[in-house]
């Protein structure tokens, strides 16, 4: 049986990994979902075809993240979810709507199909916004003040833009022709808004939280961690340069915006985790206090060690199968 | 005003009832698809590919509904039932964790290849992906039924300060009721999928679909149904005996036995009266319940009065059991008659096709009724003898729960309607699809 302290770290690490992978993977398919046009079936079909084989597995990372919180830090799981009861329900309604609309839009009677497109688009938007709203409330420790909710709305818009960014970057990589050109200009817009968002959070967060300031600016750790926000902001600049060039030579480095966006996600997520560690509920509960029984977690860890590498392997396999530019979805 | 406890219970019941409809279809439908695909690989006959292509669409739709309603469940534990994880999380957590790790990812990832990858991977890999999805759905059922069974008949643990700690994982996973419940549920899924396939295929044939694929699918489904319905009755009986041993109060409620009695009758109809603790309008077969449950006409059945305050509400368990058994009997009858006719005459008369259409969702009714019996039969406990439902519920304000409950019920009603409409729409649309190339068929038919 493992020492509870190691188990706290291992499971917190796994949970963080699951959240990060979820944000990147479901981030791009939610982003694509909220950008589908309602008046152009063909383009909508192509966009949805680009995420068709993946969205189900992408969403499973959310189940894993929530599941790990539930298993390893049960007290945190119920504290967080009870505090976020109403936004969680909106998140779930959003997930339900887009999940089913994906199938109904192709299979329902023709006159109903466009209605399901609306459901798909709105569901993707609602899901993204609810996630950002929840993140905002989480970050400020579930305060129930008008200011806190205003901040949560701001955070919701931030996550919508972040998913829009990585979603349009995905389309640049997977699509061709006019759609690809459109995606480049969408990507530019989202990147600029996201840049302002990241910049604001990077300034405001240490300015209003003394302990976050200390964490980031106290030597010697500052030397190691301060480059992260600097690199992150520089990545936005590089992204802008890449996006300036792409319209003329879309075959050269169409995968770059997605890679850069994914790195931006990684760095932002690192910033978040580093600011709050070791708290799992900010200011209230640390991972060491919240950790579940060691024997139960040890039992599950055997499975994790065997299964996680396997699932990463077959996830990569699936991405390889559907590599390259998108083709129409068919069951053939 | 309804209280948070009751509203949370209704909400959980609504969510899980809606959710279970879809896994009940997909667990077995995945195996039907694996069978169709394997047959196609082995024979090269296009009829199997046709059947596969049609049913894989229904599978995708059902699977999506199962996934989204399943995600809801993973949040509900935390939002509405925090006491559950607090008290028994050390058991429930790892079992659910294994379900996510071993089943969910495998199903979801290979589903992408199964649905959209037929042209992108070699046929063998595609068939393998179909099998892996089927294995994934079954593994998922394995873990979740292990947890559910543990909640019914907990073993392999110790209690310290009111918290459950695992002592023996083998005993936890293979707890006394697990094997029975697992096979009972797998068979329920097989029958639900069989009657769904038979019903939709019959619907196509009634719409003058002359193609071979619906006939083939119908034959396969009815064969499975005719073989498995009697086995299900047998497994159900064993499951009942197991329940008598471990949860006698549930059996007492199912049979409507108030006072412990020797030679209890099998009640065909009655209205249990909980205020006066007796049955009204009882019609029964003398000694039959004792005979079925103890294999002795004078065997003793413990009555509900021995478990005052510790037994479930009687009416829903009593009626739920009769609906399940009644539907099961009807399914045996329909499966036997139609399969026999098909064997004798090679085709089904119109009235039999219509009967099959009427029975399309019979599996759903029987499965839901069965789950209501076993889950309500566990009340007032969430984990038998360890944790009462009222000790696990959230402190969230009841207005909030009422608000979300109304939201869920509205969405589920719309989705259920859309699902059934789309199912039959897909079926009628496929009526117009051309049969595969008949020349090709003529060459292939010799190989079948």
Contacts of B165 in chain A (CB under 8 A): 293, 295-296
Q: How far apart are CA B394 and CA B400, in angstroms?
A: 11
Which of A56, A63, A82 has the CB atom closest to B396's CB atom? A82
Q: Chain B partners of A33 at a C-beta cutoff of 8 Å?
A: none
Euclidean distance between CA atoms B54 and B214, whole angstroms: 9
For residue B425, give the 3-state DSSP assignment: helix
Cβ–Cβ below 8 Å for A109 and B425: yes
Name every chain A residue with its beta carbon within 8 A of the beta carbon of B129.
Answer: none
* Rounded mean pLDDT, B188-198: 95
- Residue B441 confidence (pLDDT) above 60: no
CA atoms of B162 and B1, how far apart (whole Å): 32
Q: How confident is the model at residue B447, as a pLDDT?
A: 42
Q: How many whole angstroms separate alpha carbon B379 and alpha carbon B249?
A: 10
**If you average pLDDT over residues B306-319, what whole number do you get?**
86
Question: Alpha helices of B160-281 — where are they, by DSSP H?
Answer: 169-173, 178-206, 212-246, 248-255
Q: What is the mean pLDDT of residues B53-70?
A: 89
Q: What is the pLDDT of residue A225?
A: 82
B196 in reach of chain A (CB within 8 A):
no
Helices B314-345, B350-358: inter-axial angle, 10-degree rounding: 150
Upper half-sphere CA count for residue B175 (Cβ side, 13 Å): 28
B51 in contact with A, Cβ within 8 Å: no
Convert the pLDDT of each residue in A232-241 to its tens digit: 889 999 998 8
Nearest to A330 by CA among B31, B200, B120, B419: B120
Q: Do B411 and A77 touch (CB under 8 A)?
A: no
d(CA A93, CA A123): 7
More confident residue, B63 or B85: B63
- For residue A79, give the H/E element and its range: helix A74-83
Average pLDDT, chain B: 87
Structure tokens that stand for B269 in this block: 């109809």
Q: Are B152 and B182 in contact (CB under 8 A)?
A: no
How far is it, in rounded angstroms, from Cα A137 to Cα A132? 9
- Could you say which residues from 106 to 145 on chain A have a Cβ atom under 8 Å away from some Cβ of chain B? 107-109
pLDDT band at B178 (very low <50, low <70, confident <90, very high): very high
Token digits of residue B185: 């549920």
Given the structure tokens 């509205």, which residue do they identify?
A: B410
B106 or B184, higher pLDDT? B184
Residues 138-197 of A with CB under 8 A from B: none
**Cβ–Cβ under 8 Å, residues B55 and B63:** no
Instruction: Out of B75, B106, B418, name the one closest to residue A104 (CB).
Output: B418
Question: To the nearest whole angstrom, how far is the Cα of A99 from the nearest Cα of chain B?
Answer: 6
Determine if the peptide bond prior to B380 is cis (ω within 30°).
yes
CB pairs under 8 A between A and B: 207
Cα Rg for chain B, rounded, in angstroms? 23
Task: Identify which of A41, A146, A26 has the alpha carbon closest to the alpha carbon of residue A91.
Answer: A26
Q: Which of B208, B297, B301, B184 is nearest to B249 (CA)?
A: B301
Q: Which of residues B62 and A330 earns the better pLDDT score?
A: B62
- Read out DSSP for B234-267? HHHHHHHHHHHHH-HHHHHHHHT--S-EES--EE
Cα B367 vs. chain centroid, distance in angstroms?
5
* Parallel/antiparallel/unpaired status of strands B266-273 and B278-285: antiparallel
pLDDT for the residue B434: 66
Q: Residue length, chain A?
A: 332
- Which pairing describes strands B381-383 and B387-388: parallel, antiparallel, or unpaired? antiparallel
Nearest to B112 among A53, A80, A297 (CB): A53
Within 8 A by CB and 6+ apart from B217, the residues are B36, B51, B54, B55, B197, B201
B159 vs A: CB within 8 A: no
Residue A112 has pLDDT above 90, yes or no: no
Residues 6+ apart with CB under 8 A from B211: B50, B433, B435
- CA separation, residue A130 to residues A95, A133, A134, A268, B369 (Å): 10, 5, 6, 19, 36
Q: What residues of chain A, 227 to 286, have a C-beta less than 8 Å from chain B?
A: none
As a whole number of angstroms, the distance between CA A169 and CA A186 comes to 9
**Run of H or E residues at B123:** helix B123-152
Confidence (pLDDT) at B445: 42
Residue B443 has pLDDT above 80, yes or no: no
**What confidence score (pLDDT) does residue B327 get?**
93
Flag the least confident range among A67-71, B206-210, B399-403.
B206-210
Residue A299 CB contacts under 8 Å (≥ 6 apart), including other chains? B94, B166, B169
Could you tell me the CA-to-CA distances from A199 to A192, A229, B374 in Å, in that order?
11, 9, 55
Q: How confident is the model at residue B435 (pLDDT cuts 50, 70, 90)?
A: low
- Measured between CA atoms, the residue of chain B closest to residue A315 is B109
- Structure ipTM: 0.84
Q: Which H helix or E strand runs over B115?
A: helix B105-116
SS3 B278: strand
- Radius of gyration in angstroms for the set of CA atoms belonging to chain A, rounded to a whole number: 20
What DSSP string describes B19-56?
HHHHHHHHHHHHHHHHHHHHHHHHH--HHHHHHHHHHH
Cβ atoms of A287 and A8 closer than 8 Å: yes
Could you say which of A64, A82, A104 has the minimum Cβ distance to residue B394?
A82
* Angle, in degrees to the nearest 10, between helices B82-99 and B123-152: 150
Closest alpha carbon within chain B to A64: B100
Nearest to A318 among B113, B394, B403 (CB): B113
- Residue-wise pLDDT for B25-59, tens only, equals 999 999 999 999 998 988 888 888 888 888 998 99
| Residue B85 or A32, more confident | A32
Q: Which residues is B278 bridged to in the sheet?
A: B273
B111 touches chain A (CB under 8 A): yes
Structure confidence at residue B198 as a pLDDT band (50, 70, 90): very high
Q: Does A102 touch chain B (CB under 8 A)?
A: yes
Percent helix, percent strand, percent coil in chain B, to nearest 5:
75, 5, 20
Q: Using CB atoms and an 8 Å cut-off, which of residues 300-319 of chain A contact chain B?
A: 300, 303-304, 307-308, 311, 314-315, 318
Q: Cβ separation of A53 and B116 shorter than 8 Å?
A: yes
Written as six digits, the tokens of A217 are 């600016």
Question: Can you tell me the distance from the alpha carbon of B390 to that of B380, in angstroms, rounded to the nearest whole number?
Answer: 8
Q: Do A70 and B117 touch (CB under 8 A)?
A: no
In this prediction, residues A275-288 reach a mean pLDDT of: 83
For residues B40 and B48, the answer to whether their CB atoms sit within 8 Å is: yes
Reported as a pLDDT band with limits 50, 70 and 90, residue B357 is very high
Of residues B86, B151, B95, B97, the one with CA closest to residue A78 = B86
Of B116, B169, B422, the CB nearest to A107: B422
pLDDT at A307 over 70: yes
Contact call for residues B80 and B401 (beta carbons, < 8 A): yes
CA distance B212 to B28: 22
Question: Which positions ≥6 away from B228 have C-beta within 8 Å?
Answer: B187, B190, B191, B194
Mean pLDDT of B107-127: 86
Partner A, chain B 65-104, Cβ-Cβ below 8 Å: 65, 67-72, 74-75, 77-79, 82, 85-86, 89-91, 93-94, 96-98, 100-102, 104
Does residue B398 have a pLDDT over 60? Answer: yes
Per-residue pLDDT, averaged over A308-324, amounts to: 85
Would you say B71 and B59 are in contact if contact means Cβ atoms under 8 Å apart? no
For every residue of A254-302, DSSP letters joined together read: TTHHHHHHHHHHHHHHHHHHHHHTTEEETTTEEHHHH---HHHHHHHHH
- Tens digits of residue pLDDT in A40-64: 888 888 898 888 888 888 888 888 8
Query: What are the pLDDT digits (tens) for B226-278?
Result: 999 989 988 988 888 888 888 888 888 888 888 888 878 888 888 888 878 88
**Mean pLDDT value of segment A24-40:** 91
Is the pLDDT score of A172 beyond 50?
yes
């Amino acid at each position: 049986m493992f020492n509870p302290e190691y188990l706290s770290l291992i499971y917190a690490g796994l949970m963080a990994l699951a959240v990060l992978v979820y944000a990147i993977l479901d981030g791009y398919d939610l982003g694509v979902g909220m950008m589908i046009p309602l008046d152009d079936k063909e383009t909508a079909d192509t966009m949805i075809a680009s995420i068709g084989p993946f969205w189900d597995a992408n969403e499973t990372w959310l189940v894993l993240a929530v599941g790990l919180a539930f298993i390893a830090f049960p007290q945190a799981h119920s504290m967080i979810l009870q505090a976020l009861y109403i936004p969680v329900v909106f998140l779930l309604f959003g997930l339900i709507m887009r999940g089913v609309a994906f199938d109904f839009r192709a299979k329902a009677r023709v006159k109903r199909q466009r209605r399901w497109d609306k459901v798909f688009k709105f569901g993707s938007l609602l899901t993204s916004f609810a996630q950002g709203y929840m993140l905002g409330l989480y970050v400020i420790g579930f305060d129930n003040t008008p200011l806190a909710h205003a901040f949560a709305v701001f955070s919701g818009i931030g996550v919508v833009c972040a998913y829009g960014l990585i979603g349009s970057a995905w389309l640049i990589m997977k699509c061709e022709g006019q759609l690809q050109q459109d995606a480049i200009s969408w990507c530019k817009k989202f990147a600029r808004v996201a840049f302002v968002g990241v910049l604001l959070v990077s300034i405001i967060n240490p300015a209003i939280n003394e302990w976050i300031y200390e964490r980031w600016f106290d030597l010697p750790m500052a030397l190691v961690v301060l480059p992260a926000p600097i690199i992150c902001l520089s990545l936005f600049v590089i992204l802008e340069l890449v996006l300036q060039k792409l319209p003329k030579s879309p075959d050269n480095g169409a995968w770059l915006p997605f890679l850069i966006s994914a790195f931006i996600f990684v760095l932002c997520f690192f910033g978040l985790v580093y600011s709050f560690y070791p708290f799992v509920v900010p200011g209230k509960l640390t991972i060491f206090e919240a950790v579940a029984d060691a024997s139960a977690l040890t039992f599950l860890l055997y499975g994790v060690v065997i299964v996680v590498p396997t699932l990463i392997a077959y996830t990569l396999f699936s991405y390889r199968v559907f590599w390259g530019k998108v083709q129409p979805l068919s069951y053939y | 005003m309804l209280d948070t406890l009751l509203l949370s219970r209704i909400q959980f019941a609504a969510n899980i009832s809606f959710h279970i409809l879809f896994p009940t279809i997909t667990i077995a439908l995945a195996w039907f698809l694996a069978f169709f695909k394997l047959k196609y690989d082995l024979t090269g006959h296009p009829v199997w590919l046709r059947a596969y292509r049609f049913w894989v669409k229904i599978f995708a739709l059902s699977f999506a509904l199962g996934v989204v309603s399943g995600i809801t469940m993973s949040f509900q534990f935390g939002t509405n039932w925090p006491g559950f994880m607090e008290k028994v999380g050390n058991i429930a957590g790892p079992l659910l964790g294994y379900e996510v790790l071993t089943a969910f990812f495998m199903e979801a990832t290979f589903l992408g290849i199964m649905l959209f990858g037929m042209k992108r991977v070699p046929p063998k890999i595609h068939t393998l992906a179909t099998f892996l999805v089927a294995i994934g759905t079954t593994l998922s059922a394995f873990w979740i039924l292990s947890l559910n069974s543990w909640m019914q008949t907990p073993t392999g643990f110790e209690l310290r300060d009111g918290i459950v700690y695992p002592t023996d994982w083998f005993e936890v996973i293979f707890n006394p009721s697990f094997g029975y419940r697992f096979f009972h549920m797998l068979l329920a899924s097989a029958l639900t999928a069989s009657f769904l396939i038979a019903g939709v295929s019959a619907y196509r044939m009634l719409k003058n679909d002359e193609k071979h694929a619906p006939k083939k699918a119908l034959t396969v489904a009815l064969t499975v149904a005719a073989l498995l319905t009697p086995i299900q009755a047998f497994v159900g009986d064993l499951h009942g005996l197991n329940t008598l041993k471990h949860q006698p109060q549930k059996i007492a409620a199912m049979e409507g036995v108030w006072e412990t009695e020797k030679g209890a009758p099998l009640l065909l109809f009655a209205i249990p009266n909980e205020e006066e603790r007796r049955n009204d309008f009882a019609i029964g077969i003398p000694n039959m319940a004792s005979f079925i449950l103890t294999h002795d006409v004078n065997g003793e059945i413990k009555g509900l009065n021995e478990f005052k305050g510790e037994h479930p509400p009687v009416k829903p368990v009593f009626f739920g059991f009769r609906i399940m058994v009644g539907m099961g009997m009807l399914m045996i009858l329909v499966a036997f008659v139609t399969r026999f006719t098909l064997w004798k005459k090679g085709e089904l008369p119109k009235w039999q096709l219509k009967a099959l259409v009427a029975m399309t969702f019979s599996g759903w009714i029987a499965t839901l009724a069965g789950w209501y019996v076993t889950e309500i039969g566990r009340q007032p406990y969430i984990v038998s003898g360890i944790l009462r439902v009222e000790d696990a519920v959230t402190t969230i304000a009841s207005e909030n729960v009422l608000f979300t409950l109304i939201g869920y019920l509205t969405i589920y009603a719309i989705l259920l309607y859309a699902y059934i409409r789309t199912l039959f729409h897909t079926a009628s649309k496929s009526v117009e699809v051309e049969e595969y190339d008949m020349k090709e068929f003529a060459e292939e038919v010799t190989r079948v």
